[in-house]
């Protein structure tokens, strides 16, 4: 173990821009670095409390914003790697560190002398002549303390801190269980007859997976690039069912069981909310979002469900009828739907993943996304092979404006591995901040699970993965284009039901022929993506839109059901979810199988009582993209207006005000239903 003086996590980085020294960090550095950083942060807090001067915005609020910078930097590295490049040792460290961080956080939030200084500044806010950003920082600081128990009676603060610590450990364990359960299952096939229906790219990926594991034949996993295509294409219904059941029963029973953890997490959240005077956790969480109240969210979900559910049932009936035309007489089960809907889509639109993937070589898509950012925002991307990364798959780019101004470092981590959780996400190793006139630009990371290149072909994306990259890059732009002084108010630090607007907005370009025509070429022949294929992509955009909408709404409904009650429900987890979703079910519910035990977003991530925000943001983005269409989808002036009024401003202004600044009015919900063909 290095001593503190030489610990790379505690020293200023000598690299350009202060980039993380990933090549020097060892696992044994983390715990002592956290311990020292917590000590330094406590010294920062003590200096604020012991300041003999009267409390002011500068010596209390601003000083608190900048306190613990070492701890923020170390956390930004460590916890991102526990998602993208973890192992048993990293998980063990996380379990040891998380309680320390929670204790430290609660010791600050429940510190009465510190809160007294904050309260003194808050009470004189009308006389401080603060600018908009500073006033927002004061407001958010006050609310953060009040919402974390600072106003509780002294006898209740200990219990509140205990609840917070237990909750941090429970949510951490939930995510670890999901990753472990995902990695625990493989479908190992050695008979080529079992590959019936699988296209070449799926077979090659499975063969590559087997080879990497030192096995013969083909190995399929529960990672999306393997699982999704298997369900779509496999002609073996029995194997589709096996894969579906494995994927959808993750963490229900067994050594990675999450059902008890769900009940614990819900109970802990409810008790914390009740202590603060809220009737439910949902009411507590939503106070800080655009929706404000659970009733607003429930009415919003219901308003979308009303036209969507009949459309979804028509979608399922249509797929069922199509399957019967092919001699499939059984009732359509969940493991059948992807298979038959893919066949119907291919027949109706003459379009499928195998047809399109050769035109979406990952490197070409990446270059096109970079070019789009250049056309809209004047950004330029230069790969920096001299900067270290945390895994050989990762690439890092220096992002600048046309003027040469450095904007960000962008880390791209595309391919699945056992050490990475499933899905796709954007995060930051460092967020924008400015102290004493010195600006530190962000380090943004985009993590996905795209198909790895093989010896036979490069990484080729499905069209869905193209939209995924655009989505996460939209989050990335939110970070890279951030402006402001205070990191807690910059970039993606906005209310949860607003944060998906920039990401979902970017997905629209995937359906624009003028963008697709700039890059989509066959990786072998160089042939441009035929106009007929582009027409089919646009025509197929709303294929099964009702079904897809109901599926997303169900996630939001389940989330709200877990977080609007009096705590953990009387029923077990499976029964509770199935009963909650029975009225909106469009495929048969399978006994014993539900998605909540692997629902990372709400039980391990930051979307508790907030999953509805994907649909909420879809309403915003559908309305917002109309502005780009009105002004030109490559319009630099339209993009500049979006950047100036909304994208660069983070959480420095209330989200509804930002949207009105951009659009000149409130969003029009009808735009989403029209976009999906459900109006």
Enumerate the active-site residues: 472
Please report which helix (H) or strand (E) contains residue 446, including its range.
Answer: strand 443-447
Distance CA 492, CA 487 (A): 10
Distance CA 445, CA 537 (A): 29
φ and ψ at residue 400, rounded to 5 degrees = -130, 160
Q: How far is CA 56 from CA 115, 383, 615, 667, in A?
A: 13, 44, 41, 38
Is the torsion defined by CA of 497, 502, 505, 507 positive or negative? negative
Matching residue, tokens 């990475």: 420
Distance CA 349, CA 352 (A): 8
φ and ψ at residue 24, rounded to 5 degrees = -105, -20
Cα 441 versus chain centre, distance: 21
- Quickly count: other Cβ atoms within 10 Å of residue 81's Cβ: 23
Q: Using the 8-state DSSP alphabet, how is residue 258 labeled?
A: -
Q: Which of 376, 370, 177 is nearest to 258 (CA)?
A: 177
- Residues near 212 by Cβ (< 8 Å), separated by ≥ 6? none
Give the CA-trace dihedral at 447, 452, 453, 459, to 10 degrees: -60
Distance CA 197, CA 194 (A): 9
- Residues near 376 by Cβ (< 8 Å), separated by ≥ 6? 634, 636, 639
Residue 538 · residue 511 · CB < 8 Å:
yes
Matching residue, tokens 């050769």: 358
Q: How far is CA 78 from CA 86, 89, 93, 394, in A?
A: 9, 12, 10, 16
Residue 54 · residue 419 · CB < 8 Å:
no
Distance CA 408, CA 398 (A): 6
Cα 311 versus chain centre, distance: 28
| Tokens, residue 577 | 């979810």
Please report which helix (H) or strand (E) contains residue 414, including its range.
Answer: none
Please report which helix (H) or strand (E) contains residue 138, including its range.
Answer: helix 132-146
Instruction: Let me know how long the chain is.
Output: 679
Strand duo 443-447 + 406-413: pairing: parallel
Residue 236 · residue 256 · CB < 8 Å:
no
Distance CA 604, CA 606 (A): 7
């Amino acid at each position: 173990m290095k001593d503190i003086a030489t610990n790379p996590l505690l020293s200023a980085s000598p690299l350009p821009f202060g980039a993380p020294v990933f090549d020097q960090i060892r696992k044994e550095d983390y715990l002592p670095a956290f311990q020292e950083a917590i000590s330094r942060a406590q010294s920062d807090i003590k200096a604020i409390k012991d300041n003999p001067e009267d409390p002011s915005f500068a010596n209390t609020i601003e000083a608190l914003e900048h306190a613990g910078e070492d701890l923020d930097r170390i956390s930004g590295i460590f916890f991102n790697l526990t998602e993208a490049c973890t192992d048993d040792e990293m998980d063990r460290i996380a379990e040891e560190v998380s309680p320390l961080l929670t204790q430290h956080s609660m010791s600050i939030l429940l510190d009465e002398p510190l809160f007294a200084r904050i309260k003194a500044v808050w009470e004189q806010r009308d006389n401080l002549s603060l600018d908009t950003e500073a006033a927002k920082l004061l407001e958010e600081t006050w609310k953060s303390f009040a919402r974390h128990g600072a106003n509780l009676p002294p006898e209740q603060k200990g219990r509140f801190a205990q609840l917070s610590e237990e909750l941090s450990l429970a949510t951490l364990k939930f995510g670890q269980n999901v990753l472990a359960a995902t990695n625990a299952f493989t479908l190992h096939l050695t008979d080529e007859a079992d590959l019936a229906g699988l296209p070449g790219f799926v077979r090659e990926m499975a063969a590559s997976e087997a080879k990497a594991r030192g096995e013969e034949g083909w190995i399929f996993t529960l990672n999306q690039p393997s699982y999704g295509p298997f369900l779509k294409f496999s002609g073996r219904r029995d194997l589709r069912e096996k894969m579906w059941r494995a994927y959808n029963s993750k963490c229900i029973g067994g050594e990675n069981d999450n059902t008890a953890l769900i009940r614990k997490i819900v109970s802990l959240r409810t008790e914390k909310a009740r202590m603060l005077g809220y009737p439910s956790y949902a009411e507590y969480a939503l106070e800080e979002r655009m929706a404000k109240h659970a009733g607003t969210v429930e009415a919003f979900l219901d308003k979308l469900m009303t036209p969507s559910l009949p459309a979804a049932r028509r979608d399922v009936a249509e797929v069922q009828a199509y399957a019967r035309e092919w001699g499939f007489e059984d009732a359509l089960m969940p493991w059948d739907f992807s298979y038959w809907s893919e066949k119907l889509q291919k027949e109706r639109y003459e379009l499928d993943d195998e047809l399109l993937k050769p035109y979406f070589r990952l490197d070409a898509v990446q270059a096109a996304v970079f070019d789009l950012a250049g056309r809209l925002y004047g950004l330029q991307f230069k790969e920096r092979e001299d900067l270290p990364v945390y895994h050989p798959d990762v690439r890092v780019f220096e992002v600048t404006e046309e003027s040469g101004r450095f904007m960000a470092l962008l880390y791209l981590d595309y391919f699945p591995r056992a050490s990475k959780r499933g899905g796709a996400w954007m995060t930051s190793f460092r967020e924008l901040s400015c102290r004493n006139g010195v600006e530190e630009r962000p380090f943004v990371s985009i993590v996905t699970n795209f198909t790895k290149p093989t010896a036979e072909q490069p990484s080729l994306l499905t069209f869905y993965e193209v939209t995924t990259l655009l989505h996460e890059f939209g989050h990335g732009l939110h970070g890279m284009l951030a402006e402001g002084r205070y990191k807690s108010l910059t970039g993606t630090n906005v209310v949860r039901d607003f944060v998906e607007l920039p990401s979902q907005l970017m997905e629209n370009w995937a359906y624009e022929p003028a963008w697709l025509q700039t890059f989509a070429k066959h990786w072998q022949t160089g042939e441009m993506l035929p106009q007929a294929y582009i027409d089919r992509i646009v025509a197929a955009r709303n294929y099964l839109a009702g079904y897809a909408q109901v599926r997303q709404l169900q996630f939001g409904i389940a989330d709200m059901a877990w977080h609007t009650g009096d705590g953990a429900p009387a029923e077990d987890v499976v029964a509770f979810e199935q009963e909650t979703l029975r009225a909106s079910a469009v495929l048969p519910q399978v006994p014993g199988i539900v998605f909540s035990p692997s629902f990372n977003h709400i039980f391990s991530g930051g979307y508790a009582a907030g999953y509805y925000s994907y649909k909420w943001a879809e309403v915003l983005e559908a309305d917002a993209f109309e502005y780009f269409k009105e002004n030109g989808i490559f319009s630099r002036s339209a993009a500049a207006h979006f950047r100036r009024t909304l994208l660069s401003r983070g959480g420095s202004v209330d989200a509804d005000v930002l949207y009105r600044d951009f659009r000149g009015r409130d969003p029009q919900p009808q735009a989403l239903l029209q976009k999906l063909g459900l109006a």
